[in-house]
A and B are shown apart, each in its own frame.
Chain A
Amino acid sequence: MPQSPIPNILSLLTFLPLVGAIVLLFLKRPQDLPEYHGGHAEHDAPHAPEKHPADPARTTVNLVAAFFAGMTFLLSLVLFGAFRSDYVESLTRNMQFLETANWIQVGNITIQYQMGVDGVSVLLIVLTTFLSLLCVLYSFHTRQRLKEFMVFLLLLETGMIGVFCALDLVLFYVFWEAMLIPMYFLIGIFGHERRIYAAVKFFLYTFAGSILMLVAIVWIYQVAGTFDVLSLSNPQTPEGKKLAEYGLRHPQAMLWLFAAFSLAFMIKVPMFPFHTWLPDAHVEAPTAGSVILAGVLLKMGTYGFVRFCLPMFPKQAEETAWIFITLAIIGIVYGSIVAAVQPDAKKLVAYSSVAHLGFVVLGIFSFTQVGLMGALIQNINHGISTPMLFFIVGMLYERRHTRMISEFGGLKLVVPMMSTMLLIAVLSSIAVPFFNGFVGEFPILVGSWISRKTYDIGGYGTTALAATGMILSAVYMLWWFQRLMLGPISRPENRHLPDLSRIEWTVLAPLAGLVFWIGLGSHFWTQRMDVAVEMILPQHMEAVNPDLPIQQVLDQQRIETLKRRGVVPMELGTESTRRVPPVQAPGASTPVVPPGPMGGSVPPSPPFPGVPPPAGAGQATPPAPGVPGGAEPDNGAPPAGPPSELPPGSFRGAPGSGAAPSGPDTPVSGPSSGNTAEENR
């Protein structure tokens, strides 16, 4: 396991904000400044975020909070740097920086304190600490009850990081629930007019989902005897085997368990029809609260699907994938249409979140590696573009104390910098190339296109419908931008708004920078997720539509990548590959073909190009391992240069465009269909 330069980095990362919150509790409480009841007092006076009289307590609180948030952010950068993109260890499911301790041991029940990260969580943790730091910075000028605000932000950060690191079901549940309280307070104390209604709705909705998840967690313990996520997700361990066998014997009960988990995550994502808490919560929350809510809390739902639902209940997930895909697409279209008619800017952005996360869920449940990779990147992207939008809406609210779009107009002439930032955020949200949204949405749509699951619902039209979401998002976003920023200045109050202040620059500029960094150099970010994607959705679980010739291309890319890593691919379609020379624990070195979660027999691994399958039924035995992946004389497709450097997940157009049509009649067989070869010329 790679060693991080700092031992126990995950626990440090999780509890450092908690320590910060406790330290803050003992500091002196800064003076509350009076509420700003302006907005229409003096039309021509500059409405600057005022300079407050120097209050040392305020400065102290601000600095201490920023210190702890900043230290946590630096720690997460260390974690990010120390994370190795190519570490594979199937016993621990490629988790790095594992920490295990016996937490509770009563009777014969053991709950472990187990933390670990893999490619999926490490990016989310960096996102969390980054956004928390930005929120702390932005909240420096909170007028009332500043100390409580910072305390709640830091407590929230602890909960969020804990959720992403926890590898024990009960530990995960504790962090999941514990994170609700600070959010409830943030909305309820510091929110706007209907804040109590929104806060209670948020809490009750989320709690209802999670309490059923708790019952499911306890039930899983009865079945499998452990709460350890690692062993439950791995059908080769005794506990994982027990869970899998239980699923075979009692499919109905297993479906209920899956449903309980999914309900909790569906409410969190939020998916249609459980999304109704989101617009209220977003609108009524303070700016920093909305940013954290949209930037991190919503990601926990999709993270939950990826971490728990897919590995622990693969069969059930695969069977019910059509429900999720349908709901996701409804979410995309419905979210976009409703967003277009909102008069309130925050509600517009809230509904846009529903639409964007619909894309993410579509990517996850398309059951293709491309789609999953796109979904994970889009997760991060949404965590950058939507906070940016919320920050800007919040800044406008600071200046004019209104969120209604009709109150603005022609602001580009008044606040050109803010307008530029808004344009960046809007274009990123729409998924224009060069911006980060594109890097997320396009692979999702490709994954959805090639997926068997979407094809089964309604043919290619399903994906087409999802793709219209991109058009619809352009509709409402660009229209909003136009109403807000372009045109003449329609109202006299808008004439003298100040442009971005220093803190606002500090908050927006990194986000804008990240937009471009991910948009132009996404490989840097996706390379860490390869191994995780492979683990969560191994090749034998992929559901690629066999009518398409894409499988061959994907195989080839995989072979190239594995060659590049110095790994000899023994048999594609197996859970693990053997390193040369084998150095891992015995569990990793045996190329075991796990029982196919798609039920029944061992899925036939796709033969190597050049080896024609026997006519008739699908192969029962994998081809002889003697055929090395490297030599493919029959394959007329030369490994094109740039694409071969790509990880298997990201798909950048057809590689070597001349290659495919020169068409070897290499057979393509998808893992689930077991078809005879289809010859594509």
Chain B
Amino acid sequence: MNYAANLMSIMPVLIVLATGMIVLLGDACSAQWRARRWYTWGFSLFGVLMALVQAGNQLQTQMATTFSETAFAGSIVTDSFTLTCYVILLITALLAILLAMTYLENRNLNLGEYYALVLFSTAGGMLMACSNDLIVLFVSVEILSVALYVLSGFARTEEKSEEAALKYFLLGAFASGFLLYGIALVYGGSATANHAGTTNLADLNLYLINDGRPSVLLMCGIALLFVGLAFKAALVPFHMWTPDVYEGAPTSVTAYMAAGAKIGAFAALMRVCSALAPIGEYWLPAVQTLAVLTMFGGNILAVVQDNVKRMLAYSSIAHAGYLLVAVSAASVRNEQAHNAAMGAMAFYLMAYAVMTMGAFGVLIYLSRKGRDLQTIEDLRGLARTDTFAAYAMLVFMLSLGGIPPTMGFMGKWFIFSATLQAGQVWLAIVMALASIISIYYYLKIVWMMCFQEPERPEVVEHAVASGGVRATIVLSLATMLVFGILPGALGILLNAAETTVFRP
């Protein structure tokens, strides 16, 4: 296909990239631009909205025509799953930008590069969702990660933030090494006597269906590939970086990381696992083991935490476990289960992104000038001092725990449904049991906020009570409740698997 069509297929990514570059250049070159922070903020928002509109349009047409297209000689695929992930990532970026402004002002970090980095990171995530080639996957993983390395160290003068950046960088680069080597081995291992090796996921899928037993080289490659991706998705036992990085980074960065990086990572995992589904019996038990370890590990470790951000970090690890259950359910031969699982994962990604942004948004709302909200003790008696924040946090905690009538419950329900359809009953039961553990620490926050009396019954002045933060919280709240009661309205998400490229 011709050049223009190639570009059109990744138009949302290009819009975001262009916005990012304009923001970066404008901030670097023009003093006037630097002086008025609202330019940067507004322009980034505008760019994201444009991309969202474009992605939405494409999604509409995609659903109508029901076939997918590949671009750039087969290395990019635009199907409904891609466009769905675009939408989710762009909404996450939107919320992240909304949250950022006043928070950064208060910590004296309001630099234009922040928005550029967020946009680049989003673009990386979007590329991950549309990649049909392992090398494109690698490049997009790196785009996402490198931007996040810088973002996590954004508070340059604070030691914790720098330490977070260093840890993230070293461990992230380590994992990228595994990822690249894994890709190289897959390139070699997918070769047989009849054909050369390939890194193209669609071709790989075809080869795996037709060739017999995979070679040892291929299996090693797949294993290393999973290690690399598992690190990015923060699965146990590759999760060690998550609590430290989430705790050290500025809260708005943590919010974006918790949501956006996971969406990208799981989009990539879903692509890879769908492609490798024909040899599922070799790697599915490993993925399931990872899922169980992650769910239990994340939840159990969260129970003992005192610092709110660390606790939310561990809880996000647990949610990665639930998402991995959906990935495992999608990797079976049963087509109906595959579609249901992909739809469930898309819905849960949306729910997870919105509720994470909301929960961190409340934390931002509550932080004071120059200081973040750190421990759970700081939340004591919040229902008396700041009712709006307390009850908003309540809804987010309920949604994270999976209690009706919130979107989190609906998401868990869809995942249960898909897992049972795929015949992996034991995994569903394990997920149910892990959820019980998670309720404890979500309720702990709730009781600390609502049942305890505050230490000093003073009215806390909010340094960060800006419209943007409030807007984020209210939007997230509304989404949680509305789509918890009427998830059918997001049916387009749930049919995300309509036109995927791979057939298991």
Contacts and interface: CB of A to CB of B under 8 A. Distances in A.
Given A188-B451, A189-B450, A218-B420, A107 B413 contact: no
Interface string B430-448: 0011011001100110110
Contacts of A107: 339-340, 343, 494-495
Majority SS at the chain B contact face: helix
Interface in B419-435: 420-421, 425, 428-429, 432-433, 435
Contacts of B336: 108
Interface in A572-617: none
A208 B405 CA distance: 17
Contacts of B206: none
B459 to A, nearest CB: 14
A212 interface: yes
A191 to B, nearest CB: 9
A200 B417 CA distance: 28
Interface stretch (B37-45, B83-91, B208-216, B484-492): B484-492
Contacts of B487: 104, 106
A173 B343 CA distance: 22
Contacts of B343: 106-107
B425 A211 contact: no
B326 interface: no
A222 B419 CA distance: 11
A173 B412 CA distance: 13
B136 interface: no
B443 A212 contact: no
A95 interface: no
A83 interface: no
A203 to B, nearest CB: 6
A185 B450 CA distance: 8
Nearest to B451: A188
A199 interface: yes
A219 interface: yes
A219 B428 CA distance: 10
A106 B413 contact: no
B416 A196 contact: no
Nearest to B410: A104
A106 B416 contact: no
A495 B395 CA distance: 48
B398 interface: yes
A175 B403 CA distance: 10
Interface residues of A, number: 35
B409 interface: yes
Given A174-B405, A199-B447, A215 B439 contact: no
Contacts of B74: none
Nearest to A171: B404
A278 B429 CA distance: 26
A105 B488 contact: yes
B467 to A, nearest CB: 22
Given A211-B435, A218-B417, A219-B420, A181 B429 contact: no
A189 B383 CA distance: 10
Interface in A171-198: 173-175, 177-178, 180-181, 184-185, 188-189, 195-196
A104 B490 CA distance: 10
Nearest to A223: B420
A218 B428 contact: yes
Majority SS at the chain A contact face: helix
A177 B409 contact: yes
A214 B432 contact: yes
A298 B495 CA distance: 40
A517 B440 CA distance: 44
Nearest to B484: A174
A178 B407 CA distance: 13
A204 interface: yes
B345 to A, nearest CB: 14
Interface in B391-408: 398, 403-405
Contact of B451 (A199, A203, A214): A199
Given A105-B488, A107-B495, A212 B429 contact: yes
A169 to B, nearest CB: 11
Contacts of A204: 436, 439-440, 443
A221 interface: yes
Contact of A212 (B432, B486, B495): B432
A170 B488 contact: no
B432 A200 contact: no
B486 A104 contact: yes
Contacts of B446: 184
A620 interface: no
Contacts of A104: 486-488
A103 B340 CA distance: 18
Given A178-B403, A204-B439, A211-B432, A222 B420 contact: yes
Interface string B329-351: 00000001001100100000000
Contact of B417 (A109, A175, A188, A195): A109
B421 A222 contact: yes
Interface in A101-134: 103-109
A221 B417 contact: yes
A188 B394 CA distance: 14
B428 A178 contact: no
Contacts of A173: 404
A207 interface: yes
Contacts of A208: 436
A215 B404 contact: no
Interface string B374-388: 000000000000000
B204 to A, nearest CB: 28
A196 B494 contact: no
A113 to B, nearest CB: 10
A106 B432 contact: no
B404 A178 contact: yes
Nearest to B343: A107
B447 A211 contact: no
A208 B340 CA distance: 26
Contacts of B495: 106-107
B443 A200 contact: yes
B447 A174 contact: no
A225 to B, nearest CB: 12
A215 B428 contact: yes
Contacts of A219: 420, 425
Given A104-B487, A199-B447, A199-B451, A214 B413 contact: yes
Interface string A280-314: 00000000000000000000000000000000000
Nearest to A196: B447
Interface string A416-447: 00000000000000000000000000000000
Q: Which interface residue of A177, A184, A207, A208 has the most chain B CB atoms within 10 A?
A: A207
A108 B488 CA distance: 12
A10 to B, nearest CB: 17
A526 B442 CA distance: 44
B454 to A, nearest CB: 13
Given A188-B451, A204-B439, A218-B428, A181 B403 contact: yes
Contact of A195 (B340, B404, B451): B451
Contacts of A178: 403-405
A219 B422 CA distance: 11
A219 B413 CA distance: 12
A44 B244 CA distance: 62
A379 to B, nearest CB: 25
20 contacts: A105-B488, A105-B491, A106-B491, A108-B336, A170-B413, A174-B409, A181-B403, A184-B443, A188-B451, A195-B451, A196-B447, A200-B440, A200-B443, A200-B444, A204-B443, A211-B435, A211-B436, A212-B429, A215-B429, A221-B417
Interface of A: 103-109, 170, 173-175, 177-178, 180-181, 184-185, 188-189, 195-196, 199-200, 203-204, 207-208, 211-212, 214-215, 218-219, 221-222
Given A107-B495, A181-B403, A189-B450, 6 more contacts: A106-B343, A200-B440, A200-B443, A207-B403, A215-B432, A222-B421
Nearest 5 CB-CB pairs, A to B?
Answer: A174-B404, A188-B451, A211-B432, A177-B404, A106-B494
